[in-house]
């Protein structure tokens, strides 16, 4: 999962149900246009095992149609993958070399016990944050054969995935997190929980939650992560944002009752630009492409 320095103006998120494509304005301050394509049931089965893409030709066709609709002459695109296809890890080190090439083997060694696949040969991207006594590393890692499935779909559609991000990390770019902030993001049977403070990710977890679960039941699954953060960081959650297509009001009410903090849906409408598709989606569904593209 290599990350280039020059950010593309196109972004496309693949979710369990949709392909969402967007083009940023030339100054990078907002989305110019966006579109959505529904995926057929069973076309995508996000996981950490090979076989994520059930219909490669169909997915490439959806990607090509969506990206062609939002236009632009460039072929580089920010590819946003389902969280279930990428393992995100926060690792602490006493020391770590400054040069990424020297730090990478050390990060891979730590990941060997943290991921259920071969970390040595997996696709890896990481960032390090130096503190007075430790080095915190944010790593995104996925089996190379899984990454190849998604990248091949983009290339077959005629586009180059110049930047690859998991959904929640892309979405965090659209979230104001100067205060301790909880993001709950839902995609199919998976729920991602991210907590950031001072605009730095400090906690991440993904849950396998059966579809159709009530908002109250989902809040009960999320709550232990809140308790863990508050116990370990001696801080309280002060902001809750949701990016969930269903059970939103019930989930809001349950989280508010548990925490005393007002929960709100992640609203990207002000940055979303013109819709070029007939399929209406909640504005929070655009958070991935918005967070990936807009310069804040």
Number of domains in the chain: 3
Q: Does 189 share its domain with 244? A: yes
| pLDDT tens digits, 134-162 | 999 999 999 999 999 999 999 999 999 99
272 or 80: whose pLDDT is higher?
Answer: 80
Q: Does 157 share its domain with 202? A: no
Q: Does 194 share its domain with 260? A: yes
- For residue 109, the model assigns a pLDDT of 97
Mean pLDDT check: name the lowest of 25-39, 62-76, 203-217: 203-217
- Using 50, 70 and 90 to split pLDDT, how confident is the model at 296? low
- For residue 23, the model assigns a pLDDT of 94
Encode 43-57 in three state secondary structure: CECCCCCCCCECCHH
Domain assignment of residue 45, given as a range: 10-84+143-172+270-293
- For residue 211, the model assigns a pLDDT of 61
Q: Does 76 share its domain with 202? A: no
Q: Does 60 share its domain with 15? A: yes
| pLDDT tens digits, 78-116 | 999 999 999 999 999 999 999 999 999 999 999 999 999
- Using 50, 70 and 90 to split pLDDT, how confident is the model at 273? low
Mean pLDDT of 8-21: 95
- For residue 28, the model assigns a pLDDT of 84
Q: Does 18 share its domain with 161? A: yes
- For residue 3, the model assigns a pLDDT of 39
Q: Does 149 share its domain with 136? A: no
């Amino acid at each position: 999962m290599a990350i280039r320095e020059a950010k593309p103006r196109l972004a496309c998120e693949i979710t369990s149900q949709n392909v969402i494509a967007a083009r940023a304005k030339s100054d990078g301050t907002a989305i110019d246009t966006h579109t959505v394509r529904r995926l057929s049931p069973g076309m995508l089965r996000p996981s950490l095992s090979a076989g994520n893409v059930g219909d490669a030709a169909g997915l490439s066709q959806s990607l090509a149609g969506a990206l062609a609709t939002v236009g632009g002459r460039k072929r580089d695109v920010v590819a946003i993958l389902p969280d279930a296809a990428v393992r995100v890890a926060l690792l602490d080190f006493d020391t770590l070399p400054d040069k990424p090439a020297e730090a990478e083997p050390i990060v891979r060694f730590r990941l060997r016990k943290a991921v259920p696949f071969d970390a040595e040969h997996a696709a890896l991207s990481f960032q390090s944050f130096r503190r007075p006594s430790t080095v915190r590393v944010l790593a995104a890692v996925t089996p190379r054969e899984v990454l190849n499935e998604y990248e091949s779909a983009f290339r077959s559609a005629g586009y180059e995935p110049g930047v690859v991000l998991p959904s929640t990390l892309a979405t965090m770019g659209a979230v104001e997190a100067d205060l301790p902030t909880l993001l709950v993001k839902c995609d199919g049977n998976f729920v991602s929980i991210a907590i950031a403070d001072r605009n730095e990710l400090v906690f991440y977890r993904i849950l396998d939650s059966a579809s159709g679960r009530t908002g109250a039941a989902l809040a009960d699954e999320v709550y232990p992560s809140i308790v863990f953060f508050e116990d370990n960081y001696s801080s309280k959650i002060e902001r809750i944002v949701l990016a969930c297509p269903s059970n939103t009001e019930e989930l809001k009410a349950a989280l508010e009752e548990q925490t005393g903090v007002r929960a709100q849906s992640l609203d990207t409408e002000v940055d979303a630009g013109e819709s070029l598709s007939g399929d209406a989606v909640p504005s929070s569904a655009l958070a991935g492409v918005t967070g990936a593209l807009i310069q804040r």
